[in-house]
Chain A
Amino acid sequence: MPVDQSLVGRTFPPTPPRAVSEEQVRDFVLATGGSSYAGGAAPATFPIVLAFDAMNAFLEAEQVDLFRIVHGEQKFAYERPVFPGDVLCATLTVASLRQIAGNDIIGTTSVVTDGAGAVVCSTSATLVHRGAAS
């Protein structure tokens, strides 16, 4: 089922605030090639945890199956690193929708903000929604 074209430009509600714990950052470091974590900034791709929350909420709202989604492109522009103790949420906007060879190509941006409302990073993701085999 093609994704609804009228979604372009729509901004979804912010994800529930997520408090970043030291344990969560440590788990992420150790799961991404790191050998130890002694505190400090989270790895650069950590904000994907927030962006993924926002993407999941979007896919659920649009009744799109996660297993049909493949990541096409990802960019991060950082205002500052993430630290344990941050309380973050992500707000997703649908930037573009195209169809290529039976797949929906969904362009999204998610802005990650902290408890004070300041932008921590802006992310953009291209999601490829693989159509059901005919």
Chain B
Amino acid sequence: MSLPTRTFTITRADLVRYAAASGDHNPIHQDESVAVSVGLPGVIAHGMYTMALAARAVDEWFPGAEVVSLGCKFTNPVVVPADGGVDLVVAGEVKSVDDGLTTVALTVTCEGQKVLGMPKAVVRA
């Protein structure tokens, strides 16, 4: 069963806000020159911010459901431009429902490219 796809627009201001809320002040998420100095294409979103948005979609699909496990690889960076934003698209599909546990396989893309590897959530719903 496919779940309704959710799109989030990510701006640099969102990264500043996420840094403050999470305590992750790695400058590669704020400062173009630092990001480029370590070989990144530009300022990138925190992987955990991308993962949090994927978890947000899961929460919208299964309101109030307890999350039992959540995991992904960070396979491609989400590059966030200085002006405007970039769209993150979170799609999900229910893979199984077993013993009260629902397994959701996610597909998280940015400009048509998958940015998370094998993102998966298991919820009690």
Known: A28-B22, A33-B8, A133-B39. A70 touches B49 (CB 8 A): no
The smallest beta-carbon distance between A50 and chain B, in angstroms, is 10
User: Are A32 and B21 in contact (CB-based, < 8 A)?
Assistant: yes
Q: Which residues of B contact A32 (CB under 8 A)?
A: 18, 21, 49, 52-53, 55-56
Residue of A nearest to B44 (CB): A70
A-B pairs under 8 A by CB, number: 107
User: Are B55 and A45 in contact (CB-based, < 8 A)?
Assistant: yes
Q: Which residues of B contact A27 (CB under 8 A)?
A: 20-21
Number of interface residues of B (CB under 8 A): 42
In chain A between 69 and 95, which residues have their CB closer than 8 angstroms to a CB of chain B?
69-78, 80-81
Residues of B within 8 A of A (CB): 8, 14, 17-18, 20-28, 34, 37-40, 46-49, 51-53, 55-56, 58-59, 64, 66-74, 77, 117, 121
Residues of A within 8 A of B (CB): 24, 27-28, 30-34, 40-41, 43-45, 48-49, 52-53, 66-78, 80-81, 126, 130, 133
